[in-house]
Amino acid sequence: MDHPPKSPALWLFSLLILPLGIVVVGFNFTAFPLLLAQAGVPVDQIANVGSIINLPGVLGFLFAPVVDIKFRRRTWLVLATFGTALSVCLYFPLIGASHLALIEGGTHNPAAPPFDFLQRCFIPLIERMGPKVKLELQRYGFYPAGGGRIVVEISPTDTLKPIELEERREITTKRATAFVANLPYHIARRELDTVGKLLNWDAESLRCEDTKKLRQPRQPGDD
């Protein structure tokens, strides 16, 4: 006498849906946007990425019935893998994303170009050659502790244009900035007063800036 097939245990269904919950809810909806935000990706681009990633689930009702009547499971696995790879390849052209770079370490060191030089002198020359470059100082980093963070967003160009720097231009502005990191403000003021007397600069060219206005909670070099 044949016995009817035994139904699988209900807890097996929870195991089947567990990977989906880890990937979709645990990574796509939580960890992935957080990682993009920490890398300096704008909110609108994070939203575009999330929309593309979750598009297959939204359109699942269109192709789900076909899975039951066409192809073997192995064939569907190959097609799904190919579709995922193709979506990744199409991601950047679809949303027009730029190249992002995260630089960590010293942002204001005696023996290296500081962030202000890169932003005001070096990057404008690079942009004259064609690409668009955006620098964002997320956290100061002073010698020797470091701990600074700069996010660089680069919109590339198809061809680089040559530039010629044959003449020195006239000085348009002069400025000295003293950065304060957990020190009394009068220390920076005394430094700027000395700079002003030596270079004969007026008070409008001297500025103090508190790193607390920019940084994330606690950074190396605060002590």
How does DSSP assign 152-193, residue by residue?
EEEE--SSPPP----SPPPP----EEEEESSS-HHHHHHHHH
Average model confidence (pLDDT) across the chain: 76
On the question of pLDDT at 223 being above 80, the answer is: no
Please give the pLDDT value at position 87. Answer: 62
| pLDDT higher than 80, residue 126 | yes
Tokens of 179: 């950065």
Does 148 have pLDDT greater than 60?
yes
Bigger pLDDT: 159 or 80? 159
Segment 17-60, tens digit of pLDDT: 676 677 667 777 778 788 778 777 778 878 887 777 777 777 77
Q: Can you say whether the dihedral through the CA atoms of 60, 62, 68, 72 is positive or negative?
A: negative
Amino acid sitting at position 59 = L
Greatest mean pLDDT among 75-79, 95-99, 166-170: 166-170
Q: What residues have CB less than 8 Å from 20, skipping those under 6 apart?
A: none
Per-range mean pLDDT, top range of 15-29, 90-104, 186-200: 186-200
pLDDT of residue 218: 46
How confident is the model over 107-127, as a mean pLDDT?
Answer: 84
pLDDT over threshold 80, residue 177: yes
What is the percent of the chain where pLDDT is above 90?
2
Q: Residue 198: which pLDDT band, with cuts at 50, 70 and 90?
A: very high
